[in-house]
């Protein structure tokens, strides 16, 4: 067992202990688990294809049907099942959220590792690039990106990743500045270990839990951004998402017709996914901000 990896085990145990005792962390993780299972089992849970136009027994299109045993959340103005769209929307949301979080964690962690460990001009260049990314208005940048290229959920992933990695990079950098002075790192240097070996064997395992913690917040931000873009009409028209459902309900004047069953469920799902990331960060704030410990 490498001496450099011992602290990471302690940090992981602390995360598991906090998950069990903190209601915020437990609630956030539970929300993610429920939606992840929904996304994985969407084909089993959803009674219809989300884009399928349904028909009544008399042959008419089942448009604007209110909730019933046949249509649990009613149907849209085009005769599509709202519940099926809600279920498949979880799959789109998690695809966007997890993809963006993965990119942010990987890029932010690598930047933080190299910036904090090497310092000097490497630190200055990487941090200045991060400052530029943080100075760009978030939602307008995503809208402009979506407007100039073909509507695609991956545009949201690219936009979110390009602007949110500096947050993870900065916190990882601050941890590395402390870790590089530890005795086990000095021992690795004396034994002749390369810089890359020290970074990825002795230092990286100690910062990955915090990186993934920041990644959980990015999941909610990415889902909220995708919903915003789709609601404004810049999202793909052939992919069902919660933002697509809100935009479809808006243009169909669902609110004025009192069709609350159409847009409230998708709005609640977006709110829960965004809140889950903040619940997790609130539950683990002891790890993010050690000065808050009693």
- Look at residue 65 in the predicted model and tell me its pLDDT: 92
Give dist(CA 245, CA 90) in Å, integer.
12
Q: For position 15, what pLDDT does the model report?
A: 55
pLDDT band (50, 70, 90) for residue 4: very low
Distance (Å) of CA 287 to CA 181, 235, 250, 266, 282: 20, 37, 42, 32, 10
The DSSP code sequence of the chain is --GGGHHHHHHHHHHHHHHHH-HHHHHHHHHHHHHHHHHHTHHHH-SS-TTPPPB-TTSSB-TTPPS-SSSTT-B-TTS-BHHHHHHHHHHHHHHHHHHHHHHHHHHHHHHHHHHHHH-HHHHHHHHHHHHHHHHS-HHHHHHHHHHHS---HHHHHHHHHHHHHHHHHHHHHHHHHHHTTSHHHHHHHHTT--HHHIIIIIIHHHHHHHHHHHHHHHHHHHHHHHHHHHHTT-S-TTS--HHHHHHHHHHTTTTTTT-HHHHHHHHHHHHHHHHHHHHHHHHTHHHH-GGG--
Tens digit of each residue's pLDDT (9 = 90 or more) over 16-35: 555 556 787 788 888 999 99
- Please give the domain boundaries of the chain with CATH numbers for all domains: 3-43+77-292 (1.10.3720.10)
Work out the pLDDT band at 207, boundaries 50, 70, 90.
confident
Decide if pLDDT at 38 tops 90: yes
Highest-pLDDT range among 10-19, 37-46, 162-171: 37-46
Mean pLDDT of 235-249: 86
What pLDDT is attached to residue 237?
72
Q: Vertex 146, ends 106 and 238: CA angle to 5°? A: 100
Q: Between residues 285 and 126, which one has the greater pLDDT?
A: 126
Q: Measured in whole angstroms, how far is the alpha carbon of residue 100 from the centre of its chain? A: 6
**Per-residue pLDDT reduced to its tens digit, 125-175:** 999 999 999 898 888 888 888 778 777 778 888 888 888 899 899 989 998
pLDDT at 292: 45
Rounded distance between C-alpha atoms, residue 157 and residue 155, angstroms: 5
Question: What integer pLDDT is reported at residue 27 of this predicted model?
Answer: 85
What average pLDDT does the chain have?
84
pLDDT of residue 178: 87
pLDDT tens track for 66-85: 999 989 999 999 999 999 99
Q: Which residues 6+ apart lie within 8 Å of 179 measured at CB? A: 116, 185, 203, 206, 207
């Amino acid at each position: 067992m490498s001496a450099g990896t011992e602290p990471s085990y302690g940090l992981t145990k602390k995360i598991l202990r906090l998950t069990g005792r903190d209601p915020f962390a437990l609630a956030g993780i539970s929300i993610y688990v429920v939606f992840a299972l929904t996304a994985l089992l969407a084909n089993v849970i959803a009674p219809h294809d989300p884009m399928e136009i349904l028909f009544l027994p008399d042959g008419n299109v089942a448009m604007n049907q209110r909730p019933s045993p046949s249509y649990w959340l009613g149907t849209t103005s085009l005769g599509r099942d709202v519940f099926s769209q809600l279920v498949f929307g979880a799959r789109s949301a998690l695809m966007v959220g997890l993809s963006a979080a993965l990119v942010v964690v990987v890029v932010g962690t690598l930047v933080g590792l190299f910036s904090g460990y090497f310092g000097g001009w490497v630190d200055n260049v990487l941090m200045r690039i991060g400052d530029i990314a943080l100075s760009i208005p978030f939602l307008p940048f995503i809208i402009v990106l979506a407007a100039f290229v073909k509507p695609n959920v991956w545009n949201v992933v690219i936009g979110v990743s390009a602007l949110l990695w500096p947050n993870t990079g900065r916190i990882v950098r601050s941890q590395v500045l402390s870790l590089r002075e530890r005795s086990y790192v000095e021992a690795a240097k004396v034994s002749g270990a390369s810089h890359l070996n020290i970074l990825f064997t002795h230092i990286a395992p100690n910062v990955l839990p915090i990186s993934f913690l920041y990644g959980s917040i990015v999941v909610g931000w990415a889902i909220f951004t995708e919903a915003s873009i789709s609601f404004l009409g810049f999202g793909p028209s052939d992919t069902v998402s919660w933002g697509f459902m809100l935009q479809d309900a808006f243009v169909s004047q669902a609110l004025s017709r009192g069709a609350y069953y159409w847009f409230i469920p998708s709005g609640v799902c977006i709110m829960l996914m965004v809140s889950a990331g903040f619940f997790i960060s609130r539950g683990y704030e002891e790890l993010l901000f050690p000065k808050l410990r009693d």
